[in-house]
A and B are shown apart, each in its own frame.
Chain A
């Protein structure tokens, strides 16, 4: 294997490791916020590592640029959806708390 392939292999395995850890976190962590915390790491860094692993092998700079755009789009979508889920969960919690304060 050429050094290029070795670099790519290391990056891809590291990326897959982040995804594995993120998935395990999502399955094992107790509440929404912890799970989001685990998941966003996989989305950010895992995707970055996989994209750069592929970019190292890419034949043209166009492919590299596309991989960069894919990472950025994934990053934007993941961070906004994580923010929305967390906000929703927080509001649910607050409304549940205020309801139990008001006694049934």
Chain B
């Protein structure tokens, strides 16, 4: 029975992927990509990786989907006459490349199924060392203790992505806010319920991240979702200047993480060693803020945000 579910998910993933690439209609491809993200989240959950499932659903389906939809809107604003179809020039190489790629994936999969984990396996080493860190969640352990240079670089990449987006965006071209027409009173009521709830969920995800699925990336994505909601409804509007608070938020993760990592060397610890569980939580909080601010600013395509008129 569970094999049938797995096969169904796998077939759905492949079918969706083909539809996204082959289908000619851009909007349809975006919607299917969001569905693909949600199905992928299901697949991660089935594989026993709830951390990844949450990140995939929140970032892969939710925020990336919102980014793509807002980019699509911008596209039809730039060129309303041309129907949003992608060119359908299929290369002769497409089929052979696709077949080779799937053969490669199938071979790797077959080889991986037969593998036995070795005694000195990195994953086992993490599980053995985990109790010394004071954390209960091995994912957070890897992200913040064992391989935290990678995480530091990921935060740097996010900042670089924001800088790159700033470099290519035309000033004043932000497609937001979407509607100036009278807002439905229901929207205000929705925001009054959803926004405090997302803040609560983000704080919860951050806190449980130490011993259960969750952490800075999931919490940041959830927080960013409420920012997206606020900017879609005009409560936050794009501005040309990055305010001091947003600057602080953008840099908090990278600077906080680097500072802690550097300061510990003064106490005889190796570079980027975590001096305690409090440092992990402090860094995760800073990272959550940076992730949320960077994702919302990527969505609005602006340098900053300010409060809307009402």
Q: Which residues of A contact B (CB under 8 A)?
A: 73, 76-77, 79-80, 83-84, 87, 91
Contact B193 A76 (CB under 8 A): yes
Q: Which residues of B contact A (CB under 8 A)?
A: 181, 184, 186-187, 189-190, 193-194, 197
Contact B190 A80 (CB under 8 A): yes
Other A-B contacts than A73-B193, A73-B194, A79-B186, 4 sampled, CB-CB below 8 A, are A73-B197, A76-B194, A87-B184, A91-B181
A-B residue pairs in contact (CB < 8 Å), sample of 20? A73-B194, A73-B197, A76-B190, A76-B193, A76-B194, A77-B190, A77-B194, A79-B186, A80-B184, A80-B186, A80-B187, A80-B189, A80-B190, A83-B184, A83-B186, A84-B184, A84-B186, A84-B187, A87-B184, A91-B181
Residues of A within 8 A of B190 (CB): 76-77, 80
Q: Is the interface of A mostly helix, strand, loop or mixed?
A: helix
- Closest Cβ of chain A to B228, distance in Å, is 14
Residues of A within 8 A of B181 (CB): 91
Q: What separation, in Å, do the CA atoms of A71 and B279 have in the docked complex? A: 37
Give the nearest-CB partner of B179 in chain A. A88
Q: What separation, in Å, do the CA atoms of A91 and B189 have in the docked complex? A: 22
Q: What separation, in Å, do the CA atoms of A61 and B123 have in the docked complex? A: 35
Q: What separation, in Å, do the CA atoms of A80 and B188 have in the docked complex? A: 10
Give the nearest-CB partner of A91 in chain B. B181
Residues of A within 8 A of B194 (CB): 73, 76-77
Residues of A within 8 A of B186 (CB): 79-80, 83-84
Q: What separation, in Å, do the CA atoms of A2 and B181 have in the docked complex? A: 56
- Closest Cβ of chain A to B97, distance in Å, is 33
Q: What separation, in Å, do the CA atoms of A80 and B229 have in the docked complex? A: 13
Q: What separation, in Å, do the CA atoms of A10 and B101 have in the docked complex? A: 44
